[in-house]
Amino acid sequence: MNALDKFRDAVDVDAYFAHVADGLVAEMGDGALPAAEQALTKMRLVGDDLGFEMWLGIQDKLVERIGPAGGAVTLH
DSSP string, 3-29: HHHHHHHHS-HHHHHHHHHHHHHHHHG
What's residue 62's pLDDT?
96
User: Per the domain annotation, does 76 fall within a domain?
Assistant: no
Residue 31 lies in a domain: yes
Residue 9: C-alpha distances to residues 3, 6, 16 (Å): 10, 5, 12
pTM to 2 decimal places: 0.81
Statement: residue 71 has pLDDT above 50: no
Q: Tell me the residue range of the domain where 62 lies.
A: 3-67
- pLDDT per position as a tens digit, 17-66: 999 999 999 999 989 999 999 999 999 999 998 899 999 999 999 999 99
Question: Residue 75 falls within a domain, yes or no?
Answer: no
Indicate whether 72 pLDDT > 70: no
Q: Is residue 70 very low, low, confident or very high in pLDDT (cuts 50, 70, 90)?
A: very low
CA-CA distance, 53 to 40, in Å (whole number)?
Answer: 8
Is 11 among the domain residues?
yes
Residue 26 lies in a domain: yes
Helix, strand, or coil (residue 76): coil
Task: Report the domain count for the chain.
Answer: 1
